[in-house]
Amino acid sequence: MTTINSDILKKYFNFLLSIFNFKLKEIKSYDYALYTKFLSSSVGIYFIYEFRDSIPQIQFTKLVSDELEQRPGLYTIKECYKEENFKLQSFYLDEIIQFKKGKEYNSYFKDVKTIEDAIKISTELIDQYAKDFVIGDKKSYDKMNVWFRNYVMLSSTTAKG
């Protein structure tokens, strides 16, 4: 286990604990990746950073229990969306930015040189685009679900045609 990357993550993500009352539920640090779960009373944030990708994935989930799992893939979500009443309550930061800004998430990371750079950029993007998801704002999750349903269903029809 390497601790230097864990320390960097704790430094930049401390705002979740100090401002938003999250608890650091789990942190797994390896030479090749960093996996961290933060939980509040209503939201789970799953930070997934496999260093070869150079871009962290950050998942925001409205919790129904105190368990936080990685969200299923698009194929599974597409199947779930066939059910009219299905509401997805878990979104990645890149999807939130695409929804709010229409900008590619990757573009924010083009000048990243270190793991610390990527983690710092991640926190800035959360601050700028995802605070409503951090606090568990129901309207934000509902709007995102509507947009994401259309996005997923539209991308599945255009891929076939």
* Helices marked H in the chain: 4-18, 74-81, 93-101, 115-129, 131-134, 138-160
Give the per-residue pLDDT at 64: 83
Give the per-residue pLDDT at 80: 93
Residue 39 host element (H or E): strand 33-39
pLDDT tens track for 10-21: 999 999 999 999
Give the per-residue pLDDT at 67: 82
Give the per-residue pLDDT at 161: 41
| Contact status, residue 46 vs residue 36, Cβ threshold 8 Å | yes
Q: State the pTM of this model.
A: 0.92
| Contact status, residue 12 vs residue 45, Cβ threshold 8 Å | no
CA distances from 92 to 60, 73, 155 (A): 6, 12, 17
**pLDDT tens track, the chain, 161 positions:** 467 899 999 999 999 999 999 999 999 999 999 999 999 999 999 999 999 888 999 999 999 877 888 899 889 999 999 999 999 999 999 999 999 999 999 999 999 999 999 999 999 999 999 999 999 999 999 999 999 999 888 876 654 44
